[in-house]
Structure 1
Amino acid sequence: MAKKNYVLDTSVCLTDADVLFKFENHDIFLPLKVLEEIDGHKKRQDSVGSNARKIIRTLDEFRAKGSLEKGIRIDKGKGILKIVSFSNLKDVVFPADLDLRHPDHVIIATAKTIQARQSSRKTILVSRDINMRVICDSIGLQAEDYVSEKAVTSSEELYNGFSIINFDDEVIDRFYSGEDIYPHNFTEEMPSAMNPNQYVMMVSNANEKKSALACFKSEHEPLKKIVHKTLPDWKIDARNKEQAFAIDMLMDPSIKVVSLVGRAGSGKTLLAIAAGLQQTIGLRSDENRYSRLIVSRPVQPLGKDIGFLPGTMEEKMLPWLMPIQDNLKFLMGDRANLEMYMEKGKIEIEA
């Protein structure tokens, strides 16, 4: 891959304090004007201020290794970091329309000058500022948005937690019979970089309707058969593979944090609460791993903030906690059982 020059804008540095480590083996240029603007934000008591202080500390650590003016290797396998002053680049012609009293224009002019001086390499200005990118495009300078920290816009962009992989028919039979199946020994379709606790739908090469559900733990462990597809104490049965995966991971004590994403009504809250009850007050003593179930929900008001609502704290919280209470009452049959366990301290509901 041909090396590139990336010139970073202030907005990028204040968005991600680790941005200097995100450009693989390409070289990074920081205009001096960017440092000046970062310094102006370091006293803020929010994420912007925190990022400003962190990146300043990172640059100070780099400074101890050599000259930032001449360039410093960011890390093994990474590119070179240089801090450039526009005053040292004035011998290169740049568009007269750029007002150098404007910080953004100084940064753009710096990038344009680097582009002219290193014409053999592609020079790209990285900025979260749309107008800066438009200006760059109008003067023949390539510009990109910084997408590493951008929020996803749909659930399809998220890691879905499972893969559908083809296996020989006999391998699936052996898996069902209880034989240890190490996936990389039996299929070339297995992704080279599977994640721990990633689920697998094993589909027969001979018959696509023949399948098995498993969980990948590591390359050194056989595929784990999905044991928990039901929560019998609460009469919950998985209706699809996604719910089966969810129940299995919620009931696996080795998995410390579970994140469920899906459409409204797909069972996320119900399954999570049912699995919590199963392991707290369930009928099977070997599954009672916890002494208390705490169910919480973040307060995200659509209208007035909670402090402006009338009534006691309990009355203010009721609209946010109703979905949780509804799920608990559905699982436990009636409100009396729920209130009994809440009085005993076995179940807590909070926001």
Structure 2
Amino acid sequence: MDYNYGGCPLSKAKRRKIVVDTNVILFDSQAILRFGEADVHIPISVIEEVDKFKRDQGENGRNARQFSRFIDVLRSKGSLASGVQIDNSETMVYINTDLMLAGMPSELDHQKADNRILNTALALQKQHPRYKVELITKDINLRIKADVYGVVANDYDANDINRDDLYEGYQEIMVSPEQIDAFYREKRFITDVKLYGNQYVIMKDAGNPNHSAIGRYSLADKAIVPLMQAADSIWGIHARNVEQAFALDCLLNDEIMFVSLVGKAGTGKTLMAIAAGLHKTLDQGQFQRLLVSRPIFPMGRDIGYLPGDIEQKLNPWMQPIFDNVEFLMGADKKAAGRAQELINQGMLNIEPLTYIRGRSIPKQYLIVDEAQNLTPHEIKTIVTRAGRGTKVVLTGDVYQIDNPYVDSANSGLTYAVERFKGHPIAAHVTLTKGERSELAELAANIL
């Protein structure tokens, strides 16, 4: 039998050869497990770059250390230069040194790690023409350069979701006028239309679009049921459009323990979530505390270290949340004092997500603002902190992402929306109509 480089028979030459960039590993430390039947090649330049991140305290450092430990386990099983097979997998892992590769094109800077990674793909393509060689990188410019040199290059994410195809959380269906009347009368409507659990429904009269009804599909009842109606406004907040009515319904429903709200700036995501949390915590006593948190990512250039103790350092980051709380408390100078009083009493807690790992959070209304800046792993870390009786609410705008390692397709918020879709204790609403002000709505649409 004829063998090629790495000891794989040519009969398997249709296997892919994957060259992995550093940013893929920093995004997902387990990325090399996601390629199935393939030969995964890791250039020595990637190992060098990963080493620079191993002391980072954030997500990049954690992924760098986890990847290095995994590769060290493989190293104990054989020569990485010759290829080591991952247990219970068809994947072979190789570490490629620059000495093993053909010469780099003269116009590329040999000192640049990206170019050496591209050269690995070029060399493999020349050495193994019967293989499909593919460069996986989240670096757009590297993908462009790869295309110029005839190398197939793709972005990485095992769970990429087109934001245009993102689950909206509601659906419009056409029904007869008699069915709408019956829904108002009987408080339920059974339909043949395929709906997800807790998906919201706009039922419209086919002959008169102004004759309509809204509801939520209940898995328990196997029917569309009416929304929860608050007796009065919630801390001065009431729904101004149908999407906000959907959002308030899932925020106030005790049977729904996970809520995700996605929408552009000014649609009321955070304000409604905090209002509902205050109502369920202070007015109804359903939860012991309202906990509001957000990741710390600056918009634009960071201003550097901040003076003072931890509370003073966090004030600029948490100010958007304080603004919403004070707005709900009242439009007077005493609002800030009332908010601080709730904090002193332990009923309201506003904190960063930095120290959430390892915690258990029972019987709390947990709001995670700006969740679009989180990775799927970070979302998992946060949601798995929820103890008994805790409700988790994620809010964010996938069009405003400040984390350089996340985009709208692989944001943890997008990932959570799709993964929780249809589960009986989860609901999602996409908000599109801005209600902050006429100027804010115009800016969100045209800028």
Q: TM-score, normalised by structure 2?
A: 0.56
1:258 offset after TM fit, Å?
Answer: 3.2
Residue 72 of structure 1 aligns with an amino acid whose one-letter code is Q
8 Å CA contact retained: 1:73, 1:81: yes
State how many pairs are aligned: 327
> What pairs up with 1:117-196 in 2 under 5 angstroms?
117-146=127-156, 159=166, 161-169=168-176, 175-176=183-184, 177-179=186-188, 181=190, 186-187=192-193, 190=194, 194=196, 196=197
> What pairs up with 1:1-351 in 2 under 5 angstroms?
4-23=16-35, 25=36, 27-34=38-45, 36-37=47-48, 40-41=51-52, 43-46=54-57, 47-60=59-72, 69-70=82-83, 72=85, 80-85=91-96, 96-97=105-106, 103-146=113-156, 159=166, 161-169=168-176, 175-176=183-184, 177-179=186-188, 181=190, 186-187=192-193, 190=194, 194=196, 196-204=197-205, 207-216=208-217, 218=219, 222-230=222-230, 232=232, 234=234, 236-282=237-283, 287-294=284-291, 307-308=306-307, 313=312, 321-329=322-330, 338=338, 342=342, 345=345, 347-348=347-348, 350=350
Give distance in 2, aligned partners of 1:130 and 1:288.
50
Alpha-carbon RMSD across the aligned residues, in angstroms, is: 4.7
- Per-residue CA deviation, residues 295-346 of structure 1 (Å, 9 max, x unaligned), is 567777789678448xx959x679652442122215x9x8599479749937
Give distance in 1, aligned partners of 2:129 and 2:18.
13
Give ranges in structure 2 of 5+ residues lacking alignment.
1-13, 352-447
Give distance in 2, aligned partners of 1:322 and 1:157.
31
The percentage of counterpart residues that share the same residue type is 28
Give distance in 1, aligned partners of 2:297 and 2:146.
39
Matched residue SS, 1:260: strand
Name the structure, 1 or 2, with higher relative contact order (CA <8 Å, separation 6+). 2
1:250 offset after TM fit, Å?
Answer: 0.9
Larger radius of gyration: 1
Note closer, same or farther for the CA distance 1:162–1:141 as it changes in structure 2 (3 Å cut).
same
Give ranges in structure 1 of 5+ residues lacking alignment.
none
Matched residue SS, 1:125: strand
- Per-residue CA deviation, residues 175-215 of structure 1 (Å, 9 max, x unaligned), is 5424463x5xx02xx36xx4x54433344555544443333
Q: TM-score, normalised by structure 1?
A: 0.69
Note closer, same or farther for the CA distance 1:126–1:308 as it changes in structure 2 (3 Å cut).
same
8 Å CA contact retained: 2:215, 2:227: no
Residue 251 of structure 1 aligns with an amino acid whose one-letter code is L
Residue 173 of structure 2 aligns with an amino acid whose one-letter code is N
